[in-house]
Structures are given as structure tokens and as C-alpha cells.
């Protein structure tokens, strides 16, 4: 009797620091503290407890850059997301650690997110066409993009309060 075991491998497509340098060079490093109802909004959006009390990001000329991790099936997927005034400008899978579903890193897939916005705090304003056999990776990317849009919204809300 033989058994096949699929082991996850880490594939680094781009280091986070390189993503930031390429897409938002000279950005100001910032910290978003998860105070008030922000953490509850995040946890409702991603549908699981969110660890930590702060999220680091970069900002430049109204654009924000987020490097976020989200579990696909069992391992984290690291993505870089650029948001410009509440709309997605760029999505890139930076590090993929799952054994399946790596097709989400292809630009043919990530292009679907360009100019996407958040409706309320929960949904994208468009349908994202999935990839057969990569449902959990697609869902993880959807959560990351929605999270980046929500976090950008929170930073803009807070800057308007100042």
C-alpha cells in the first residue's frame, strides 16, 4: 500500500520590501492601531479572530500599501496590495506556502481585482472568477483584498477625524 502526501513548499515570488520599493517607493511607514470597533470590523470581514493589536502599512500621496497574511487551507499566503483612495491598484501574491492553488499568483487572476472597491464593510463591488482546484487560495486572496480595502477605509476615516 502506498500513500501520497502533498507537502507545502514556500515559493517566494517577491520579497515584501521589494514589492514596496517597486510599487510605492519612498512611502512612509505607518502603524494602524486596532482600537475601537476596528478589530470587530476586521474579524467580521475575515470571519475568524484577528491576532495582534496593530497592522503596519506604508502610505504615500493618498495610496496605502498592505502586506498581509491569510491562511489558504493550512498555510499562510502573503500578498501585497496597493489601494488608491478606496480602490485596488495592485495585488500581488508575494509568498505562497500551500501545496495547491498557486495559480492565484498569476496576473491573469490578480488583474480581476484592479479598481475593485468595498461595498459597505463586507463585499467587493465585483465578482471574482475563481480557479478550479484553488478555491481556498482564491477565498484567502478575496479576504486579503477586502481587508486591505477596509484598512484603507479606516485610515481615511481616522485622518478625516483629525
Residues 52-99 have pLDDT tens digits of 899 999 999 999 999 999 999 999 999 999 999 999 999 999 999 999
Q: Answer positive or negative: Cα dihedral of 112, 115, 119, 122.
A: positive
Q: What is the pLDDT of residues 91-150, one digit of tens each?
A: 999 999 999 999 999 999 999 999 999 998 789 999 999 998 899 999 999 999 999 999
**pLDDT at residue 160 tops 90:** no
**pLDDT at residue 161 tops 80:** no
**pLDDT at residue 8 tops 90:** no
Q: How confident is the model at residue 162 (pLDDT cuts 50, 70, 90)?
A: low
Find the Cα–Cα–Cα–Cα dihedral 149, 136, 73, 10, rounded to 10°.
-80
What pairing do the DSSP bridges indicate for beta strands 63-71 and 87-96? unpaired
Amino acid at each position: 500500500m502506498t500513500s501520497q502526501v502533498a507537502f507545502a513548499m514556500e515559493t517566494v515570488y517577491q520579497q515584501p520590501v521589494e514589492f514596496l520599493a517597486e510599487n510605492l517607493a519612498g512611502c512612509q511607514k505607518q502603524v494602524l492601531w486596532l482600537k475601537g470597533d476596528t478589530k470587530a470590523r476586521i474579524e467580521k470581514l475575515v470571519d475568524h479572530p484577528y491576532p495582534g493589536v496593530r497592522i503596519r502599512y506604508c502610505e504615500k500621496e493618498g495610496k496605502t500599501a498592505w502586506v498581509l497574511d491569510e491562511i489558504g487551507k493550512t498555510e499562510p499566503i502573503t500578498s501585497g496590495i496597493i489601494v488608491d483612495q478606496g480602490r485596488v491598484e495592485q495585488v500581488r501574491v508575494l509568498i505562497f506556502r500551500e501545496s495547491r492553488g498557486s495559480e492565484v499568483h498569476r496576473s491573469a487572476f490578480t488583474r480581476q481585482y484592479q479598481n475593485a472597491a468595498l461595498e459597505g464593510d463586507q463585499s467587493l463591488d465585483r465578482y471574482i472568477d475563481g480557479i478550479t482546484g484553488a478555491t481556498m487560495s482564491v477565498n484567502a486572496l478575496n479576504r486579503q483584498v477586502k481587508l486591505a480595502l477596509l484598512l484603507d477605509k479606516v485610515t481615511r476615516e481616522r485622518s478625516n477625524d483629525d
